[in-house]
Structure 1
Amino acid sequence: MNTVNRDSYEAARAAGSRLVHDFGLLIKAATRLEQRIDTALRKECEISHTMFEVLIRLCRRPDEQVSQRRLADDLTLTSSGVTRLVDRMEGAGLVRRVPAPGDRRSVLVESTDHGRTVFLRAAAVHAQVVERYFVAPLDPDDYGRLTGSLGEIDKALRDT
């Protein structure tokens, strides 16, 4: 067997490996679920899934204000990406920027009353989609094992 044929055979074997397949299932399922959530949130609440994630972060504690840098880190966005996102959310009346106490160069972001109202509606939509496509297809024991395993994977990734 020549080198080209051997490389083609090895490449096909690697592409069809169990690990590639299993990880691909995880990514496809997560991507499709995120798309379903985003579509439902846009239709029902006129916000994107990413905006919902910002509102989760801002509504987690009453009266919490978060720096744009922290939002960027939490959402794995660039500084310019989070700035554009906050601009759109501010234009929609969902959030407002406020000066950071003691640091005139920094601004904090907080949800508005309208943002909290939209968040509550969006949280119900989010829960319906997650229940239908993430929870309901699984036996309760399998769901518990899945979420436990995902927690272990997340912990391993954080610990390294």
Structure 2
Amino acid sequence: MNATPPHHPDDESVAHAANSRLVRDFGLLIRSATRLEQRIDSALRRECGISHTMLEVLIRLCRHPGEEVSQRQLADDLTLTSSGTTRLIDRMEESGLVGRVPAPGDRRVMLVEPTPKGRTAFLRAAAVHAEVVEKYFVRPLPPDDYARLTGALGEIDRALRGERE
């Protein structure tokens, strides 16, 4: 039996891969986005009593007044599981922020809509969100750099959605 010994990469090649420019740059993007999301979530919980994810639901529901939005659409838009969305909407409904109504054409489908309390909470939360984003995402950059950053992020988003090859 002639077994070839397994190849074990040396420490130097492993360290080189772990410290590559692409790994570092992507890590910086993820760390920055995560820290910003944590700042937003903390401010929203402290000042508004809602989570950042709840604000994302309210943004989606308030963006086009009168639009019928199902729980399934919310799950897809927010990249949450169906059960995670159900639990989130349950909590928001218990807090009086949203209500569920059967879809007119299909009573098996539940639509979610903001309540008056939800709309009021949304306006306050949107202001808090804007303050944090302005402080940590906009102000640290010169205006030209901010415009280039947001333009580049838009290009990345389009590429990820398959609009650009």
TM-score range, shorter chain: over 0.9
Report Cα offsets for 1:42-100 as digits up to 9, x if no partner: 00100000000000000001123310000000010000000000000000000000010
TM-score between both structures, scaled by the size of structure 1: 0.95
Corresponding residue for 2:130?
Answer: 127
Deviation larger for 81-90 or 65-74: 65-74
For residues 2-21 of structure 1, what are the structure 2 equivalents within 5 Å? 4=8, 6-21=9-24
TM-score between both structures, scaled by the size of structure 2: 0.92
- Return 5+ residue gaps in structure 1 as ranges: none
How many Å apart are 1:102 and its aligned residue? 1.6
Partner secondary structure for residue 67 of structure 2: coil
- Runs (4+) off by over 6 Å: none
2:36 to 20, 28, 33: 33
Q: Which has the larger radius of gyration?
A: 2
Report Cα offsets for 1:115-153 as digits up to 9, x if no partner: 000000000000000000000000000000000000000
Matches of 1:7 and 1:87, distance apart in 2: 52
For residues 3-152 of structure 1, what are the structure 2 equivalents within 5 Å? 4=8, 6-152=9-155
- Return 5+ residue gaps in structure 2 as ranges: 1-6
- For the aligned residues, what is the CA RMSD? 1.0
Matches of 1:46 and 1:57, distance apart in 2: 19
Matches of 2:38 and 2:104, distance apart in 1: 38
- Equivalent residue pairs, number: 157
Percent identity, aligned pairs only, is 75
Give 1 or 2: higher helix fraction: 1
How many Å apart are 1:7 and its aligned residue? 3.2
